[in-house]
Amino acid sequence: MKIREGYIVAAAITLIALLAPAPALAGDKLPKPPDPTPGEPAPEPPTLPPEQTASLDLKLKGVHKGKVRVAHRVRILGTLHPWRPDQQVTVALERGSKTVKKEVVPVTHAGGDTGQFDLKSPALVEPGHYVATAELDGNTMLGAASAQSEKFKPRYPSLHRGERGKDVKLFNRLLDKQGYVPSNGRRFSERTGRAVLAYRKVHGMARTTRGTSGIYKTIAGGRGAYKLKYPGAGKHAEVSIGRQVLVLADNGKAQRTYHVSTGASATPTIRGHFRFYRRQPGFNSVGMYYSTYFRGGYAVHGYHSVPTSPASHGCVRTPIADAVSIYNWVSIGMSIYVY
């Protein structure tokens, strides 16, 4: 009985060995393992509310027919749809490629679904085309938006002697900045008229005292000063016989430009480079007032008659009202160029 059981066990072991797969030999290909069970699908992104379209609109207050009076301000008024709390808009005013003013301003609730905002410009003086813009940055809830206003430019008035006001005050300041010698304040005085006359002489215009809108526009743009013939001569004086002006210069710029009258054709003013050598205050026996001599009897001096063309006996005549100021500016040994 025990022998038979042993025989059965041995037979079972032999059968298992026969059914087991043979060990892989070098070079044999191993069977491909089965694909793993696919995992759970990736979670879908949360569904967001659809982006709303924003709209901006700009209007200008203070602009009439595309123009704003010089030195006045413009208000940039804007609306935004839809309005949401804590919105901000970047508002800018540009002149050509230059940004005049730029600010991030809050949008306030104007009622319903509308927001509003505004920005005030500085006083506008320089010539050129201005335009206002507004930009709203987008987000997941509201799309970006932008708007641009109509273009506009400053309007410059014409001015005459006797006028007063803010326009005249600015005109005087701008003339002074370009090296002419007007009055201070809000009045177009005789002195302002002489400054305009000097400007007109420099630029070959009719020799009057009328301040045109074109002159106003030029000096508002920082242009119109006398261009020196000797900019490297330090502190000196220049007299242009052709233009009939006296220029007091320093640091390479015309500091003061005056209307004068030089020698008539029969008694011309001497030309060349000289130095002031003598000063004489007050009136002399022939009516010369606060004289500064630069060669013999040739001098820069005040006189009762200073026409717009050459009329003197060779000297450089200046109006009586300008003589003391010129006398005090000039010093002994200083150069004067007459050409």
Q: Is the pLDDT of residue 16 over 80?
A: no
144 and 72 in a common domain: yes
Domain assignment of residue 308, yes or no? yes
Q: How many residues does the chain have?
A: 339
**Which domain, by its residues, includes 202?**
166-220
119 and 180 in a common domain: no
Pairing of strands 67-69, 153-155: parallel
Domain boundary among 126, 155, 184: 155
pLDDT at 142: 79
Domain assignment of residue 50, yes or no? no
Q: Is the pLDDT of residue 337 over 60?
A: yes
Domain of 116, CATH number, reads 2.60.40.10
Percent of the chain with pLDDT over 90: 82
Q: Is the pLDDT of residue 81 over 60?
A: yes
- 140-199 pLDDT tens trace: 677 899 999 999 999 999 999 999 999 999 999 999 999 999 999 999 999 999 999 999
Look at residue 47 and give its three-state secondary structure: coil
129 and 181 in a common domain: no
Domain assignment of residue 284, yes or no? yes
Nearest 10 degrees: CA dihedral of 172, 173, 176, 178?
-110
Domain of 310, CATH number, reads 2.40.440.10
Q: Is the pLDDT of residue 30 over 70?
A: no
- 261-316 pLDDT tens trace: 999 999 999 999 999 999 999 999 999 999 999 999 999 999 999 999 999 999 99
333 and 272 in a common domain: yes
Work out the number of other CB atoms within 10 angstroms of the CB of residue 6: 10
